[in-house]
Amino acid sequence: MASVSFHHGTRVFESAETPLLVRIARTAVIGIIGTAPDADETAFPLNIPKQLLRASDAALLGVEGTLSPAIDSIFDQVGCPVIVVRIEEGSTPAETWSNAIGSQVSFSGVHAFRRAQPDGLYKPKLLLAPGLTQTSPADGIQSIAVTAGGTGYTSAPTVAIAGSGGAGATAVATVAGGVVTAITVTNPGFGYPTSGLTVTLTGGGGTGATATAARGSVINPVVAELAGVADKLKAIVYVDGPDTTDQAAVQYRALINSGRIFIADPKTLKWDTEIDAYVPQPSSPIWAACQAKMDLEQGFWAAGSNMEIAGIGGTNRPIEYGTQANYLNENRINTIVNIDNDGFRLWGVWTCASDLMWQFVSVRRCADAINESLEKAYIEFNDRPFSKANLKFMIEGGRAFLRLMEKEGAILPGHDVWLLDTNTEGEMVQGIIKLGVKFEPPAPMVDIRITAYRNIASYTLLLNQVAQEISSGALAA
């Protein structure tokens, strides 16, 4: 207890050593970015996140652009918070891509999602950019080769890539023994010419390093930028494939390696009241909305697949359940099927992760939800003194939370929270304490195998039944 001035009587002081309480944040929050040229600019200013809680909140978005039909598709499936970021429609697709990519510094484009929570809105966890992701540019920076390693580098030099009309490409250099040994493309950009590409390396304390860039087919730039935003927000990005052929969808997928990217193909058919006809619309809003619906009805640990779809007339190209759907799913393309003509349903649970531990979207999202909840809860203990009570509360509170998650079905048995053996006096005297946490999200059952057997003993059973009924007179009756 803190020292106090003289007092004659009784007083109560509340202890700062309190138990750990863990709360799961809302996961059914969709973040959507797109165009709306006829929107009310006061209600929906450019690059500012705005929150919709019901379909009528989108009235001032107008009907033009990519946002209005996508939001209609979302609210066809579920009622949940939707964070909207409106961008300006460019004169070319590449210009619109640039507007969508925006700036990390000014929180524009997809980076506006990062300011939603600081602005007092819900934190978006299901991100999408319908109409902006279905094509992959053939003019991005595919690779950079080091032609001369130079000498004297004490740190990695800055890499600058230039080419007439190109934009967005970034790369980082690797240095070993004072020499530049490799350059890795971190964002391929788009719009680069077939010739005239230059790579400039500056800083790092050395000289003489040179490199050349190669142009080719690369990941969609909006998808590439959204992947980085999703890492910061611990979110999943729902992107639309090319919706042309199965092979094109697989080629599109081959450019992406991320456990936070979820590809949907094909498009759906939605009725357009302006032209009185069905038109193709991206299916990513439907996937995100159905996942939000699953979160609300069953839990964030369940995948939004094998769910019936509302508000569509069909798919833009038919996908046959069986061999065709398996081909797409095997290559991590999530699709839409109509099994036995009983209605269209979502079919797929796969991210674009090369690591099979993170191939299932539900596993990734479950781990994110629990890790974020623990991280937020333990902030309460920052700057508290080392004490037996505080350390016990940290361990016991974490264990109690994981037990609750097991009872809900979010994780499997075998979880724990403990003090790591690597804690040392030297670290603890600096205020460092290390905890271990282990848990396992449940994988979805995607391959249910049934083995059927013939049972010829049934003939003997049949004869026995006949004999019994004859003896009792039942058969004659």
For 346, residues 6+ apart whose C-beta sits below 8 A from its C-beta are: 286, 287, 290, 304, 305, 306, 307, 309, 334, 336
- pLDDT reported for residue 104: 93
130: domain CATH number?
3.40.50.11780
Assess if residue 68 is contained within a domain. yes
Element containing residue 251 per DSSP (H, E): helix 246-254
Residues 243 and 343 in one domain: yes
- What's the CA angle centered on 273, arms 270 and 277, to 5 degrees? 55
Residue 305: partners with Cβ closer than 8 Å, 6 or more residues away: 334, 346, 347, 348, 349, 444
- 146 with 121, same domain? no
**125 and 34 in a common domain:** yes
Same domain, 80 and 228: yes
Residues 202, 228, single domain; the answer is no
Query: Over the stretch 130-177, which tens digit does the pLDDT of each residue have?
Result: 999 999 888 899 999 999 999 999 999 999 999 988 888 999 999 999
Which DSSP category does 308 fall into? B
Is 391 part of any domain?
no
DSSP 187: E
Q: What is the pLDDT of residue 367?
A: 96
Residue that terminates a domain, selected from 340, 358, 376 = 358
Q: What is the pLDDT of residue 390?
A: 93
For residue 281, the model assigns a pLDDT of 96
- Verify that 185 and 228 share a domain, yes or no: no
H or E element that contains 183: strand 179-187
Strands 236-240 and 268-272: unpaired
Q: Are strands 207-216 and 198-202 parallel, antiparallel or unpaired?
A: unpaired
Per-residue DSSP letter, 110: G
What pTM does this model have? 0.87
Burial of 261 (0-12, 13-18, 19+ CB in 10 A): buried
- Contact between 352 and 262 under an 8 Å Cβ cutoff? The reply is yes
Which pLDDT score, from 0 to 100, does residue 377 have? 92
Domain total for the chain?
A: 2
In a domain, 395, yes or no: no
Residues 97 and 201 in one domain: no
Q: What is the pLDDT along the chain (477 residues), one digit of tens a residue?
A: 455 677 766 666 666 666 776 777 799 999 999 999 999 999 999 999 999 999 999 999 999 999 999 999 999 999 999 999 999 999 989 899 999 999 999 999 999 999 999 999 999 999 999 999 999 888 899 999 999 999 999 999 999 999 988 888 999 999 999 999 999 998 888 889 988 999 999 999 999 999 999 999 899 999 999 999 999 999 999 999 999 999 999 999 999 999 999 999 999 999 998 899 999 999 999 999 999 999 999 999 999 999 999 999 999 999 999 999 999 999 999 999 999 999 999 999 999 999 999 999 999 999 999 999 999 999 999 999 999 999 999 999 999 999 999 999 999 999 999 999 999 999 999 999 999 999 999 999 999 999 999 999 999 999 999 999 998 876 655
Q: Average model confidence (pLDDT) for the chain?
A: 93
* Same domain for 151 and 38: no
> Does 260 share its domain with 205?
no
Does residue 76 fall inside a structural domain? yes
Ranges of H-type helices in 239-313: 246-254, 284-297
* Domain identity same for 169 and 289: no
DSSP state letter for 279? E
Asked if residue 341 is part of any domain, the answer here is yes
SS3 370: helix
Q: Is residue 426 part of a domain?
A: no
User: What local confidence, expressed as pLDDT, does residue 22 receive?
Assistant: 72
312 and 290 Cβ atoms separated by less than 8 Å: no
Among 331, 358, 385, where does a domain finish? 358
Residue 46 lies in a domain: yes
Specify whether 246 is located in the same domain as 339: yes
Verify that 231 and 294 share a domain, yes or no: yes
Which residue, of 194, 216, 238, is where some domain finishes? 216
| Structural domain contains residue 455 | no
Domain with 233 in it? 30-134+221-358
